[in-house]
Amino acid sequence: MKTIGIIGAMREEITPLLDFFKKYEEIKIGGNSFYTTTYKNYNIVIAYSKIGKIHAALTCSTIALHFHADYIIFTGVAGGLSSDLKVGDIVLASSLCQYDVDISAFGHPLGFIPESKLYIDTDSNLNEIAKKAAIKQNIKLKYGIIASGDSFISSATKKQWIIDKFNACAVEMEGASIAVVSSLLNIPFCIIRAISDSADDNADISFDEFLVDSAKRSAAFIISILDEIQ
């Protein structure tokens, strides 16, 4: 049986999944809990990484190397950057970048790390499966670049800077690290985010208000993707 790893950054982002599966085993590794179960013809490993790129990279690496994941899916919430995104909308990442990497003093573009890429593409096959699931559920997906960094964006000025520099449609704190780990280990991956706030000066208020509902929307969409994977 193949294994699908599902990661969220916060407990609220995986709780709807655990509620759906109901029966699972908890395994503790590296200060984190991994919940294993089966669904149809797949082994499922679910974890919340804790917030930030370092925690997400560790969790993703553990799922990849310890549980031997064949696919990795990230679910959770994000701040909307595009003007056409509203709270509750779902974004499927075409690629990920790190807006807070800056070695431009050495002539490199913002976000670029030597021997890596500025933008890391998600898996086209998983993305097509997600798009198919969205059509069946009458969900209008936003498809575009998601920017990651170790800051919660709650400033209209910073929001516009990320748009201008990276052409991103959403911003969060983990996706790019999932992209780096998965791509280096040659594991197909996709990143799905439900919008919880507008990443502006009112972001902290709307985030708290809409976190749980947006996380539930993202998790429900993950289940529909699992149903489509052959």
CATH of the domain at 13: 3.40.50.1580
Nearest to 190 by CA among 50, 62, 116, 91: 91
Give the model confidence (pLDDT) of 11-48 as tens digits: 988 999 999 999 999 999 999 999 999 999 999 999 99
Q: Decide: helix, strand or coil at residue 47.
A: strand
Q: Which pLDDT value is given to residue 28?
A: 97
Q: Which pLDDT value is given to residue 218?
A: 77
Give the model confidence (pLDDT) of 79-137 as tens digits: 999 988 888 889 999 999 999 999 999 999 999 999 999 999 999 999 999 999 999 88
Respond yes or no: is residue 89 known to be catalytic: no
Q: Which pLDDT value is given to residue 213?
A: 76
To the nearest 10°, report the CA torsion of 15, 20, 182, 105.
Answer: -30
Average pLDDT over residues 195-211: 64
Note the pTM of the prediction, 2 decimals.
0.92
The tally of domains found in the chain comes to 1
Catalytic residue among 12, 13, 89, 174: 13
Q: Which pLDDT value is given to residue 205?
A: 46
Give the model confidence (pLDDT) of 120-133 as tens digits: 999 999 999 999 99
Respond yes or no: is residue 228 known to be catalytic: no
Catalytic residue among 123, 172, 174, 197: 197
Q: Which pLDDT value is given to residue 201?
A: 54
Q: Residue 196: give the domain boundaries.
A: 2-228
Q: What are the φ and ψ backbone dihedral angles of 175, each rounded to 5 degrees?
A: -55, -40
